[in-house]
Amino acid sequence: MKFLLVIFFLAVVLSSCGNKDNDADELNAEYDLLKSKQTSEETTIEPQEEPEGSPYKLGKDYDLLKSPYATENTEQVVVYEFFGYTCPHCFYFEPFMDKWLETIPQHAKLQRVPLNFQQGWANLQQAYLTAEVMGITEKSHTKLFEAIHNEHKRFNSIDELAEWYSQVLAIDKGEFLSTANSFILDSKQRKADKMGFQMQVTGTPTLVVNGKYKISTKIRNRDEIINIMKYLIEQEAKEMGLIAK
């Protein structure tokens, strides 16, 4: 089953990268390397016992990844939010995440991960990661979502996005483009897609708590998704010794 999920994710990524001649071959090479590494290092993780009276169930409300993603953060529980700017579900879900961020506990951290699932997502992925490097995502993230879904703007190139950032947020267009076309941005884009690959993300939005627990995408109630996320954060924080059991 896991292998089928991996193949599905690979197919989605490849179909969105068809306009770049070398990307498919490079991604296949990365896939082969990652698959061999997972085969040699993978260990099966037994599901942890759920606390008595737990409101949520493993295998129904959330899944435990057999090969967790290493967060490399021992001080906080990291929540990964995988999204795409043109995804309407992501747009309507974002206010719920913003509301949670107003009361986020010190032992938790949110990391947004833009993916390149469909045609046209690569430029928007590049734009978010550029804004992240420039330290302006707090100002730009919601505005870009609104520009796409409320104002129906379409950005066909990174240059058009740079122009939008310049006009709306007074960001230097040259600096934005220089950052967007840098080697570090190319690496960050590849890393973002690889993170989605490793955490078996097949759709957006998807939340993964601490690189271990993927909240079921079958749950449609957005408040319930947030509540499951909070529950898993608390359980992980207890396991990590960040809060009392």
- Whether pLDDT at 77 is above 80: yes
Residue 146 lies in a domain: yes
Residue 66 lies in a domain: yes
Residue 220 lies in a domain: yes
The mean pLDDT value for 26-39 works out to 44
User: What was the pLDDT predicted at 52?
Assistant: 64
- Give the pairing of strands 206-209 and 62-64: unpaired
- Whether pLDDT at 163 is above 80: yes
The C-alpha torsion from 184 through 30 and 215 to 102, rounded to 10°, is: 0
Give per-residue pLDDT as tens, 94-114. Answer: 999 999 999 999 999 999 999
**Number of domain units in the chain:** 1
- Where in the sequence is the domain holding 19, given as residue range(s)? 2-239
Residue 244 lies in a domain: no
Residue 245 lies in a domain: no
CATH number at residue 157: 3.40.30.10
Higher pLDDT, 45 or 236: 236
Residue 14: which pLDDT band, with cuts at 50, 70 and 90? very low
Residue 114 lies in a domain: yes
Which are the contacts of 87, defined by CB distance < 8 A and separation ≥ 6?
204, 205
Residue 37 lies in a domain: yes
Burial of 176 (0-12, 13-18, 19+ CB in 10 A): buried
